[in-house]
Copies of this chain bind each other. A is one copy, B any other.
Amino acid sequence: MRIDRTVVKQLPLFAKMNDADLDRLLDSATAKRVPQGEAVFEQGQNAISFFLLLHGRLKVLQVTEDGQQIIVRMVHPGDLFGFAKALQRMDYPGTAMAAAESVILCWPTDLWPQFVESNPSLAITTMQTIGQRLEEAHTRIREMSTQEVERRVAHVVARLTTTAGKKEGSGIRIDFPITRQDIAEMTGTTLHTVSRILSAWESKGLVEGGRQKLLVRDLNGIMLLANGGKERD
């Protein structure tokens, strides 16, 4: 099966590649559809492939020994994911699950060196990406150490709005099905607390809730909460 290069050509990741190289790359790729709720790979599995998200939305989960779950991060269209081997790991450190129906490209991990060689800027981009992830993780640790729950939830909602927002009439819709439980797992709290916070926000006109839905009506207000709306100087 041949994958048309137009589906990836506009991604910044491949912008600098010539068509021949790109075609060669795509020839070794497999496209796959992932229905909502299905896992692309599971935590602890042998890392035999790495992936690119073309369409849809994934969440990367980790499960603790006692069964609790956290969402490590969301994967957005255009993102590479599951490149554990690039970090010298044999297995996937988390589970990648489709939050919405998704389409991915898969390559065998053996091809990673080749992949990098035919697109040297990829090595740099990958390093940058990892660096960003590390920084994000530290930001999250800092927030969980020092900030109260409402502010953390505000931060997550603000980020989701900018990374997965879709303008819709009077506000911005989070463009994939998301539950209170999801938000709780992203912020390190319980769905109860999230529900209370969102209810409070709704009565203030900041957001509009709904079953697996979230519409942000006042992004500015949310961002104010996220950046410490209390003490300003």
Asked if B142 and A62 sit within 8 Å, CB to CB, the answer is yes
Q: How far is the CB of A149 from chain B (nearest CB, A)?
A: 11
How far apart are the CA atoms of A134 and B137 in the complex, in Å? 7
How far apart are the CA atoms of A138 and B135 in the complex, in Å? 11
Q: Quick one: CB contact mask for A128-154 with B, threshold 8 Å, 1 for yes? A: 101101110110111011100000000
51-107 of chain A: CB within 8 A of chain B? 62, 64-66, 68, 70, 72, 84, 86-89, 93-94
In the complex, residue of chain B having the shortest beta-carbon distance to the beta carbon of A89: B131
Asked if B64 and A142 sit within 8 Å, CB to CB, the answer is yes
Q: Say yes or no for A20: interface residue by CB 8 A criterion.
A: no
A188-B64 in contact given A87-B130, A133-B134, A134-B134 (Cβ < 8 Å): no
The residues of B that contact A84 with a CB separation of less than 8 Å are: 131
Q: How far is the CB of A210 from chain B (nearest CB, A)?
A: 26
Asked if B87 and A131 sit within 8 Å, CB to CB, the answer is yes
Asked if A131 and B88 sit within 8 Å, CB to CB, the answer is yes
Cross-chain pairs A/B with CB under 8 angstroms, 13 sampled: A62-B138, A66-B228, A66-B231, A70-B146, A72-B141, A87-B130, A88-B124, A134-B137, A137-B138, A137-B141, A141-B141, A141-B188, A144-B145
